[in-house]
């Protein structure tokens, strides 16, 4: 079934304007969701709000939105005030700059859209897509929609198409420096084996079709059995994680051997006649022998 456009907009940079159609790149409808039911009769439940001060139910026409600026202290906004604060939709993605695609960390990626040329936009669209692809750059700009303002990245996609990716704002992404990552020394031999293991599991391209959502499939099958009146049996718990890794080198070698790959040769032993390197304990200076006191 052909994809259905969810809107139109114009990509604008300099004096160039490209009319495009917008398509959702993901399908939220494929996610499985459950409803809350009354356990005794199976009827749907209705959510009800209560005032914590008066302990009475509150209808929607008695509700207002408020912002908590201090503990249990709020400023209240009317629907008209909130509407006035919204960003007016311009139906235009205004390009501010072009940057290398690799310059944007995927941690900033949010919702993605496919964009296709609209009436009269086929030629400039094709030119724009090819220029981005050959320059290995993406366009970054702003897009206002649904009362909000978004940062967007327009990048080359498959089949000569373009993808418009919403980006997170800087304040929405936590810096990795907040995470405690201890500094560790990596030996050359360990690094060599790790790279060899990576090489054996490297693919030229990413094929998402080889990954399936096993949990969703199990839920769908369980739902179908329920519909057909069957009982659901609980699956046995999987065995936990295997043996504890004691030696990193041996673990890497075992991983390669499991794939039928001969691990890189171990480091050569010290040459005959040459004394082995001293360990830290060996290098510690021994205390001088105590002299006997003269009478």
Per-residue pLDDT of the chain (295 residues; tens, 9 = 90+): 678 898 899 998 888 899 999 999 987 656 788 889 888 888 899 888 999 989 999 998 899 999 999 998 999 998 888 888 876 667 889 999 999 999 999 999 999 999 999 998 999 999 999 999 999 999 999 998 878 899 999 999 988 899 999 999 999 999 999 999 999 999 999 999 999 989 988 999 888 888 888 888 888 888 888 888 866 555 555 555 554 545 767 877 787 777 777 777 665 544 444 454 454 444 444 444 444 444 4
Q: How far apart are CA 91 and CA 76, in angstroms?
A: 31
**How far are the Cα atoms of 32, 221, 222, 240 from residue 233, in angstroms, in the given order?**
20, 12, 9, 21
Q: State which H helix or E strand residue 195 sits in.
A: helix 188-200
Backbone torsions φ then ψ of 109, nearest 5 degrees = -70, 135
pLDDT at 216: 84
pLDDT at 1: 63
CB 116 within 8 A of CB 6: no
CB 140 within 8 A of CB 155: no
Residue 137: alpha-carbon gap to chain centroid: 21
Q: Which residue has the tokens 């702003």?
A: 142
Question: Domains of the chain (ranges plus CATH)?
Answer: 7-27+86-172 (2.40.290.10)
């Amino acid at each position: 079934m052909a994809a259905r456009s969810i809107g139109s907009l114009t990509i604008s940079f300099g004096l160039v304007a490209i009319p495009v159609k917008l398509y959702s790149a993901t399908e939220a409808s494929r996610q499985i969701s459950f409803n809350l039911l009354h356990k005794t009769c199976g009827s749907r439940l209705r959510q009800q709000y209560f005032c914590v001060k008066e302990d009475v139910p509150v209808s929607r026409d008695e509700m207002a939105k408020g912002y908590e600026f201090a503990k249990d202290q709020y400023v209240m906004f009317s629907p008209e005030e909130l509407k006035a604060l919204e960003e007016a939709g311009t139906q235009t993605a205004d390009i501010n700059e072009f940057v290398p695609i690799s310059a944007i960390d995927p941690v900033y990626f949010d919702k993605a859209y496919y964009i296709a040329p609209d009436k009269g936009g086929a030629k400039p669209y094709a030119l724009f897509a090819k220029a981005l692809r050959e320059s290995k750059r993406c366009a970054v700009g702003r897009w206002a929609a649904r009362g909000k303002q978004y940062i967007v990245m327009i990048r080359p996609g498959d089949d000569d198409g373009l993808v418009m990716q919403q980006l997170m704002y800087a304040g929405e992404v936590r810096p990795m420096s907040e995470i405690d990552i201890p500094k560790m020394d990596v030996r050359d031999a360990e690094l060599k084996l790790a790279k060899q293991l990576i090489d054996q599991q490297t693919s030229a391209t990413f094929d998402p079709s080889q990954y399936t959502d096993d949990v969703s499939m199990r839920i769908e099958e369980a739902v179908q059995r329920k519909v057909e009146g069957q009982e659901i049996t609980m699956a046995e718990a999987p065995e936990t994680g295997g043996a504890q890794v004691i030696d990193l080198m041996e673990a890497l070698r075992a991983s390669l051997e499991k794939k039928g790959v001969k691990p890189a040769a171990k480091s050569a032993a010290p040459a005959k006649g040459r004394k082995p390197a001293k360990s830290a304990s060996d290098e510690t200076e021994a205390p001088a022998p105590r002299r006997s006191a003269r009478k």
